Amino acid sequence: MWKLKIAEGGPWLKSGNSHVGRETWEFDPNFGTSEEREAVEAARIEFQKNRFRTRHTSDVLARMQLAKANNFSIDLQKEKDGNPINIDTATVSDILKKALSYFSAIQAYDGHWPGDFPGPLFTTATMIIVLYVTESLTITLSSEHHKEICRYLYNRQNIDGGWGLHAEGESSMLSTALNYTALRLLGENVDDGPDISMHKARKWIHDHGGATMIPILGKVWLSVLGVFDWSGVNPIPPELFLLPSFVPIQPGRLWSHFRMALFPCLIVWKKVVGPITRLVISLREELHIHPYKKIDWKEARKLCAKEDAYNPHMWLQECLSDCLYSFGEPFLTRWPISYMRKRALYQIAEFLKYEDENSQYICIGAAQKALSMLCCWIENPNSDAFKRHLARVADFLWVGEDGMKVRVCAGQLWDVAFAVQAILACSIAEEFGSTLKKAHGFIKTSQIMDNPSGDFSRKYRHISKGGWAFQVADQGGRFQIAQQKLLRFGSWGICFTYGTWFAIEGLSAVGQCYDDSTCIRKACKFLLSKQLTNGGWGESHLSSRTKAYTNLDGEKSHIVNTAWAMLALMKAGQVERDPAPLHKAARLIMSMQLSDGDFPQEEMIGSFLKNGPLCYMAYRNIFPIWALGEYQKLVFQNYQTSSIKQTNIAPSAGNAALKNSASTTAPT
């Protein structure tokens, strides 16, 4: 059985705070009772059976172990109480107490809330490719790792045989070609898998034009492995790095996630091809629809499957790419001009070393981690730096009932910061002082005590001493700043409900209110117009792509969207104007609580860069608690100050009675 380990180190690891916040998994055949092992297997079977209906896991394996450590029993059946919900202060208190008891029980001893952080479905595959190319696959991953990773990849395969960009996405060439490749590298045969999954995947690839149709990121990874030719990849001149930092096209000016993915690509481009094994030769035939030696690689540069073409190239882009490929690249690689490239690549390599050392080889995310580790291996396969990289692979592996994946990253500090605010919003927060004390200890221990080493401004870093990272202190001073635009777009959360909540909070913080702010009035009108008939809000990840509010299929509500909308409206004074929409929303959230105090895991609730999927596992607990805590304080405090004594309102009469008793009218 897989065992979750918290704040433990190991060989080749360094830490400035005793690895606080680190989460790793270890397979121990003797771990757990027979009942627990049976429960885990039942959860796996249940997920596999319902994977096309319930796309995300509930983190059963981790939460079961955490709860046991805190002497709490969780309900693996995830049943709802089914009792009618009364809107009164006693009922809300009971709901909150159950929710907080459960949430406290899944807190780790070091004060944070461990959990999955799934994102793009190709991140696991890219890590497998790097480990294979560097001949580290069997060293780093055991047979049990292989088994669980294969379980995960098969569980995430769509009905049509392909894999989507994320768990809820339609099949794409990028994810399908890379995940098929990863399964083969892990030892799966061409016709293996439940329901001939490998055959179906290969058919999907062929039916959509073969692997030459993969977008540029996939072209890079397949070229590294040796199943794509580097001449089929558009070049990006590393000489751009030599430009002064004030020049707009200087790569160092890119957003950190882009920068840390681009720079390693400049190092590996045309330099790295893994060992051409029998398996690689076989993949050349399996992935392409034409014989490998007859593929027109120059033409393949421009190919991209329609499923992956979110922003079709303009003619100017194609023209520039052709000029760079045919004329620019030959010119830049000739002496003495080639000296510029040598100098640029040296500086980029030094930059990557700096990032590795200042992030304790965790890097900024899984995709960047895999690329940086590959660059480290290129320089010296036997270096201590590469060994430190390998030791940090475990930081990204996560085991759920769907199998083992490579998480896009983790969000330990991010979640704790939200969790503390949610608990403090509750009138019964004092009853959970030990939970807050542990969380406070985690935040305190995770504070960054030093700036990045050396002249960090020249490495595109900022002052970090005294601040906090997104994940853990060892990651270094990277601040994740979500920029929100009122009613236009929300980053990191989905999407308009999230952005509107942040905007109202921000406007309120500078003294604006509903009465004197047109923006806040428009924001409230917008949110109220999106409330569903069941009282909730349910926003699809498609909102992030289309930049237009899109409901979930079937007008389904989402507990986190509902909580965000409640928090925004309450901050804007909705209680005083017309609390009826809040009563409907609160009743919906309370009715969704499960028997052990948990709330159901629903569709993904995070997104970045329009198509970047994220699923914050702790949000299903944090934001319902926060919304109900504020609701209890604001709503019932408002009634008391109005000398209204409405203590037990039946569900059938709740909305009308509370609305009438508050003597308020809806805004115009």
Give the model confidence (pLDDT) of 557-592 as tens digits: 999 999 999 999 999 999 999 999 999 999 999 999
Q: What is the pLDDT of residue 640?
A: 56
The model's pLDDT over 526-551, given as tens digits with 9 standing for 90+, comes to 999 999 999 999 999 999 888 899 99
Q: Are 337 and 331 in contact (CB under 8 A)?
A: yes
Instruction: Provide the Cα torsion 553, 554, 560, 564; round to 10°.
Output: 100
Q: What is the pLDDT of residue 659?
A: 40
Q: What is the pLDDT of residue 639?
A: 58
Q: What is the pLDDT of residue 648?
A: 41
Q: Is residue 528 part of a domain?
A: no
CA gap 628, 567 in Å, rounded: 9
The residue assigned the tokens 């920068």 is 259
The more confidently predicted of residues 79 and 109 is 109
The more confidently predicted of residues 255 and 511 is 511
Q: What is the pLDDT of residue 660?
A: 41
Whether 239 has a pLDDT exceeding 70, the answer reads yes
Least confident of 164-178, 236-250, 386-400, 621-635: 236-250
Could you give the angle at the alpha carbon of 572 between the alpha carbons of 570 and 578, nearest 5°?
Answer: 65
The residue assigned the tokens 């091809």 is 273
Whether 653 has a pLDDT exceeding 50, the answer reads no
5 - beta bridge partners? 24
Start-to-end C-alpha separation, the chain: 59
The more confidently predicted of residues 320 and 666 is 320
Q: Is residue 263 part of a domain?
A: yes
Task: Quote the mean pLDDT of the chain.
Answer: 90
CA gap 387, 392 in Å, rounded: 9
Q: Is residue 89 part of a domain?
A: no
Domain count, the chain: 1
Q: Average the pLDDT over 325-333 and give the result.
A: 90
Parallel, antiparallel or unpaired: strands 163-164 and 171-172: antiparallel
Burial-class residue 94 by CB neighbours within 10 Å (0-12, 13-18, 19+): middle
The model's pLDDT over 252-298, given as tens digits with 9 standing for 90+, comes to 888 888 899 999 999 998 778 999 999 999 999 999 999 999 999 99
Q: Is residue 321 part of a domain?
A: yes
Phi-psi region of 492 (alpha: psi -120 to 50; beta: other; left: phi over 0): left
Contacts of residue 306, Cβ cutoff 8 Å, sequence gap at least 6: none
What pLDDT band is residue 483 in, cutting at 50, 70 and 90? very low
Give the CA count within 13 Å in the CB-facing half-sphere of 249. Answer: 5
Whether 148 has a pLDDT exceeding 80, the answer reads yes
Whether 481 has a pLDDT exceeding 50, the answer reads no
Query: How crowded is residue 33: how many other Cβ atoms within 10 Å of its Cβ?
Result: 10
Task: Note the helical H segments in 4-113.
Answer: 34-50, 60-69, 89-105
Q: What is the pLDDT of residue 656?
A: 41
Query: How crowded is residue 336: how many other Cβ atoms within 10 Å of its Cβ?
Result: 6
Q: What are the tokens at 216?
A: 């540029």
CA gap 367, 257 in Å, rounded: 9
Q: Is residue 240 part of a domain?
A: yes
Maximum distance among all Cα pairs of the chain, rounded to whole angstroms: 87
CA gap 335, 344 in Å, rounded: 15
pLDDT > 90 in the chain, percent: 78
Q: What are the tokens at 598?
A: 């948990």
Q: What is the pLDDT of residue 651?
A: 41
The model's pLDDT over 166-209, given as tens digits with 9 standing for 90+, comes to 999 999 999 999 999 999 999 999 999 998 999 999 999 999 99
CA gap 548, 610 in Å, rounded: 11
Q: Is residue 235 part of a domain?
A: yes
Could you give the angle at the alpha carbon of 449 between the alpha carbons of 448 and 451, nearest 5°?
Answer: 85
CA gap 140, 127 in Å, rounded: 11
pLDDT > 70 in the chain, percent: 93
What pLDDT band is residue 649 in, cutting at 50, 70 and 90? very low
Q: What is the pLDDT of residue 83?
A: 67
Top mean pLDDT of 193-207, 462-476, 489-503 is at 193-207
Task: Note the helical H segments in 84-234.
Answer: 89-105, 123-133, 137-140, 143-155, 173-185, 197-207, 216-225
Please report which helix (H) or strand (E) contains residue 163, including its range: strand 163-164
Query: How crowded is residue 578: how many other Cβ atoms within 10 Å of its Cβ?
Result: 17
Is pTM beyond 0.85? Reply is yes
Whether 306 has a pLDDT exceeding 90, the answer reads yes
Q: Is residue 646 part of a domain?
A: no
Q: What is the pLDDT of residue 655?
A: 41
Q: What is the DSSP string of 534-574?
A: TS---B-THHHHHSS--BPGGG---HHHHHHHHHHHHHTTH
Whether 225 has a pLDDT exceeding 60, the answer reads yes
List the one residue out of 119, 615, 116, 627 whose CA is nearest residue 412: 116
Query: Which CATH number goes with the domain that contains 231?
Result: 1.50.10.20
Q: What are the tokens at 322?
A: 């052709």
What domain range includes position 246?
121-406
Q: Is residue 354 part of a domain?
A: yes
Q: Are 94 and 100 in contact (CB under 8 A)?
A: no
Whether 477 has a pLDDT exceeding 70, the answer reads no
